[in-house]
Amino acid sequence: MHLQLIRTSPAITDRQRQIVALIAAGCSNQEVGRHLGISARTAKAHCDTLRRKLGVERRRQIPGAYYRLTGNDPFMQALSDQILQGG
């Protein structure tokens, strides 16, 4: 199943990578919107698209599914972003 997901899933955009990192950092859609200068509704739309692309049912599953798909750890990315921003 994992190999099938890799072969058939569309590419994750740079904006979607930002969303994944913010979800991994524990941000709500409202907080994602504030960080990226978009509405909470647009943040939710990105999450919905990511859930479909990654084949998960719940928003909280997005970071783990992204890691399994790409090998990039969004939890570490979120942590390094917080350190760089002094948070």
Domain coordinates in residue numbering, the chain: 2-84
Rounded distance, CA 38 to CA 70, Å? 25
Q: What is the pLDDT of residues 9-64, one digit of tens each?
A: 568 998 999 999 999 999 999 999 999 999 999 999 999 999 999 999 999 999 99
Tell me whether residue 65 is exposed, middle or buried, using C-beta atoms within 10 angstroms of its C-beta: 0 to 12, 13 to 18, 19 or more.
Answer: buried
Using the predicted structure, report yes or no on whether residue 6 has a pLDDT greater than 50: no
| Mean of pLDDT values over 61-70 | 92
Second CATH level (architecture) for the domain 2-84:
Orthogonal Bundle (1.10)
Q: What are all long-range contacts of 52-57, with beta carbons under 8 Å and residues at least 24 apart?
A: 53/9, 53/10, 53/12, 53/16, 54/5, 54/9, 55/5, 55/9
Using the predicted structure, report yes or no on whether residue 83 has a pLDDT greater than 60: no
